Amino acid sequence: MSWEGRFAPSLDEVLALAEAAVAALPEPFATAARGVAVQVEEIAPDDILDELGIDDPLELTGLYDGVPLTQKSLMDVAQQPDMIWLFRAAILDEWCARGDVALDALVTHVYVHELAHHLGWSDEDIATIDRWWE
């Protein structure tokens, strides 16, 4: 395979990988996912990093911003749409550091992890079904 003329994927290309992950979800997760917007940024904004106590922006690959389904009420008025943020530079940094996973698989993993927070799962719940680090 020639790497000549190839470049790191753009924000739009990472978004396309995330959209492919959404399209591949089985029910009932696919229905839940359609209610969550996806945004790809280069790195997490300083205010988010500060709020989470993260010094290195390359440590945050994704973030769910919203109210989990388990905490929503039909009477609540949404202040903002539920959003999954993916951070391109951090994802690419992890991809390069690992060297043993396809980029689309990593983007899918980060996306699904954040979607699980929308579904109301804790990090501990996610770890019981997604042993990604092993």
Could you tell me if 14 and 24 are in contact, meaning their C-beta atoms sit under 8 angstroms apart?
A: no
Residue 134 has pLDDT above 60, yes or no: no
**Torsions phi, psi of 85, nearest 5?**
-100, 130
Q: Write the pLDDT tens digit of every residue in 71-122.
A: 776 666 667 789 999 999 999 999 999 999 999 999 999 998 899 888 888 7
Q: For the chain, give every domain's residue range.
A: 11-71+80-127
- ∠ CA 107-116-59, nearest 5°, is 50
The topology under which CATH files domain 11-71+80-127 is: Collagenase (Catalytic Domain) (3.40.390)
Hey, is 119 helix, strand or coil? coil
Sheet with 83-87, side-by-side order of all strands: 37-41, 83-87, 62-65
pTM for the predicted model, two decimal places: 0.86
